[in-house]
């Protein structure tokens, strides 16, 4: 497959073209053992220290800056601490870089920064360094934010998208598509039922509950590209077949309705406060119980299992037929996070 000779919005979708860009442009040139782990954070040990660290970065360009359930500041904290949490790490510190368009109101900036401070407190993380750049009018759309995070991985915790094995269960921590549906509704003033709320939330507490309850092999937050894309990443990394049952996937009626109206498949719509956990069969009951006791995991459900076979995701539909579930193609929802 060829990369087009210009960057397209789809290269930022988190789907197939994003993966091709990462492989052919970035990984090809930067290749090293840490980068090639391919997880949400790079895991490393400082010389002979007993501590393993997790390290990650993400940039936020969501449009509009404010939407029901969140805003760009809340996303910028939650998204990055969640990528640390997906390695089982306790977040320690964040950096923040602001790219601000000349003319942005100070009130807007302060509102975003207030929201970041609240989210950081919620996530038990400190923002310890940062940078501010201002660009000409038109050179960016109001405000872009980058955050980078470091965290420490507790002893004995070993979580990676490459560890899924036949017999493991697939758990989703709650309803899918909430974030994407809320942002797209706010962006276009569709005025769909007022209950569309982003799920943006820090997942460190839920991950701690999971780690206490049993052994977890893989964790990943299904953000851009949605659940279907994230499951494909795990299938590729672990070289297994993932079988998902459509009837078991939690989805709110208002999100389902909005997706139907907008022609979107909720399996590909972004989440910002959900995780997929791959857990061994013997631990699944304990972990599911623990997740359901946490407000962020109250709707957790077992949605499928890992089987031996080629790397792929198969969906058993409501009608009982089985079809392959591919990575996101194209870009239906640009600038969703
Ligand atoms: Mg992630």
So what's the pLDDT on residue 151?
98
CA of 263 to the centre of ligand 1 (A): 25
CA of 309 to the centre of ligand 1 (A): 25
- CATH code: domain of residue 174: 3.90.650.10
112 in the same domain as 86: yes
Domain that holds residue 130: 9-153
So what's the pLDDT on residue 2?
53
190 in the same domain as 113: no
CA of 221 to the centre of ligand 1 (A): 5
Residue at which a domain ends, from 89, 124, 153 = 153
316 in the same domain as 180: yes
CA of 60 to the centre of ligand 1 (A): 13
185 in the same domain as 126: no
The reply to whether 257 falls in a domain is yes
CA of 39 to the centre of ligand 1 (A): 8
14 in the same domain as 144: yes
The reply to whether 277 falls in a domain is yes
187 in the same domain as 127: no
The reply to whether 18 falls in a domain is yes
The reply to whether 195 falls in a domain is yes
176 in the same domain as 149: no
CA of 220 to the centre of ligand 1 (A): 6
Give the whole-angstrom CA distance, residue 299 versus residue 249. 10
CA angle 259, 21, 277 (to 5 degrees): 55
CA of 83 to the centre of ligand 1 (A): 5
Cis ω on the peptide bond leading into residue 64 (within 30° of 0)?
yes
CA of 51 to the centre of ligand 1 (A): 22
- Reported pTM: 0.96
CA of 333 to the centre of ligand 1 (A): 17
Residue at which a domain ends, from 153, 187, 221 = 153
So what's the pLDDT on residue 194?
66
CA of 187 to the centre of ligand 1 (A): 23
CA of 82 to the centre of ligand 1 (A): 7
The reply to whether 101 falls in a domain is yes
CA of 40 to the centre of ligand 1 (A): 5
Give the whole-angstrom CA distance, residue 126 versus residue 91. 9
Distance of CA 186 to the CA centre of its chain: 20
- CATH code: domain of residue 98: 3.30.1330.10
273 in the same domain as 195: yes
132 in the same domain as 85: yes
Could you give the number of structural domains in the chain? 2
192 in the same domain as 132: no
Residue at which a domain ends, from 121, 153, 185 = 153
CA of 87 to the centre of ligand 1 (A): 10
The reply to whether 3 falls in a domain is no
234 in the same domain as 92: no
The reply to whether 304 falls in a domain is yes
So what's the pLDDT on residue 330?
85
The reply to whether 1 falls in a domain is no
145 in the same domain as 14: yes
CA of 319 to the centre of ligand 1 (A): 31
- Tens digit of pLDDT per residue, the chain (337 long)? 455 689 999 999 999 999 999 999 999 999 999 999 999 999 999 888 889 999 999 999 999 999 999 999 999 999 999 999 999 999 999 999 999 999 999 999 999 999 999 999 999 999 999 999 999 999 999 999 999 999 999 999 999 999 999 999 999 999 999 999 999 999 988 777 668 999 999 999 999 999 999 999 999 999 999 999 999 999 999 999 999 999 999 999 999 999 999 999 999 999 999 999 999 999 999 999 999 999 999 999 999 999 999 999 999 999 999 999 999 998 878 999 9
CA of 246 to the centre of ligand 1 (A): 23
So what's the pLDDT on residue 193?
65
CA of 223 to the centre of ligand 1 (A): 6
CA of 147 to the centre of ligand 1 (A): 13
């Amino acid at each position: 497959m060829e990369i087009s000779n210009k960057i397209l919005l789809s290269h930022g979708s988190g789907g197939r073209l994003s993966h091709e860009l990462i492989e052919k442009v970035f990984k090809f040139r930067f290749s090293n053992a840490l980068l090639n782990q391919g997880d949400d954070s790079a895991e490393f040990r400082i010389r002979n220290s007993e501590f393993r660290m997790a390290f990650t970065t993400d940039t936020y360009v969501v449009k509009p800056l404010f939407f029901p359930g969140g805003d760009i500041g809340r996303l910028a904290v939650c998204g990055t601490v969640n990528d640390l949490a997906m390695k089982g790490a306790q977040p320690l510190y964040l950096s923040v870089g602001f790219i601000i368009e000349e003319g942005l109101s100070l009130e807007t900036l302060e509102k975003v920064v207030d929201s970041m401070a609240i989210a950081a407190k919620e996530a038990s993380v400190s923002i310890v360094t940062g940078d501010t750049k201002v660009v000409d009018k038109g050179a960016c759309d109001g405000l872009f934010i980058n955050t980078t995070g470091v965290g420490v991985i507790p002893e004995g915790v070993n979580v990676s998208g490459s560890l899924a094995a036949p017999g493991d269960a697939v758990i989703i921590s709650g309803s899918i598509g909430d974030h994407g549906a809320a942002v797209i509704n706010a962006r276009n003033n569709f005025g769909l039922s007022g209950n569309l709320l982003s799920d943006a939330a820090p997942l460190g507490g839920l991950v701690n509950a999971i780690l206490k309850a049993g052994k977890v092999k893989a964790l990943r937050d299904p953000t851009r590209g949605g659940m279907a894309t994230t499951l494909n990443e795990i299938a590729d990394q672990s070289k297994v077949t993932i079988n998902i049952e459509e009837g078991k996937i939690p989805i709110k009626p208002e999100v389902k309705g909005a997706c139907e109206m907008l022609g979107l498949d909720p399996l590909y719509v972004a989440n910002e406060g959900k995780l997929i956990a791959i857990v061994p069969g013997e631990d699944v009951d304990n972990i599911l119980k623990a997740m359901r006791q946490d407000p962020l995991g109250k709707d957790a459900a077992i949605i499928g299992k890992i089987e031996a076979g080629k790397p792929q995701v198969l969906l058993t539909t409501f009608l009982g037929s089985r079809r392959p579930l591919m990575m996101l193609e194209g870009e239906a929802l640009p600038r969703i996070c």
